[in-house]
Amino acid sequence: MNDDDLSIFENKSGKKYSGATSGAWEIVKFALLALLIVVPIRAVVAQPFIVSGSSMVPTFEDGQYLIVDELSYHLHDPARGDVVIFKYPKDPSKYFIKRVIGLPGDTVIIEDGKVTIKNTEHPAGEVLVEPYINNVTTTTERTTLQTGEYFVMGDNRGASSDSRTWGTVQRKLFVGRAFLRLFPIAEASVLPGEHKL
């Protein structure tokens, strides 16, 4: 074996280690450091999410890869227009992606394809301008939201199962908001789908 195949070094205690052993230890240290950084970020700050289905077309297509910001909603409440990921109220093991339409204290009125919000700021009602939808809802509904309740809808109104079908979403079920679209690369963006209503 020549000298390049295996190096030997001594640590402060005088013990000899091979280069192979030191290399393995460096890999272990790197893996531990990565875990110490990645696991908290994954658990508290951000996590990946793959869009499944057509309920958010044209804003999000089936198969798009997103990074969800889990930190922001620990600092402030969701805003109208945010695209959010949450646990499905009827089965919390499933995750849905929708847009926040109604906030706690709002009355959401859906009629003639338009969504109107009544609240203390707009007691007579304000019709939402929603340039992100291609088709309007045909349902008629009136829902008043209580503390901690949110009304969510998919952008593809004709093909979305949302608050019109299964009711409001409790604040505690929110996971986070769509922060990055990473795939497809051509559509990569920060805060994809953002539109403040």
Question: Catalytic residue numbers?
Answer: 55, 98
Over the chain, what HEC string results? CCCCCCCEEECCCCCEEEHHHHHHHHHHHHHHHHHHHHHHHHHHHEEEEECCCCCCCCCCCCCCEEEEECCHHHHCCCCCCCEEEEEECCEEEEEEEEEEEECCCCEEEEECCEEEEECCCCCCCEECCCCCCCCCCCCCEEEECCCCEEEEECCCHHHCCCHHHHCCEEHHHEEEEEEEEEECHHHCEECCCCCCC
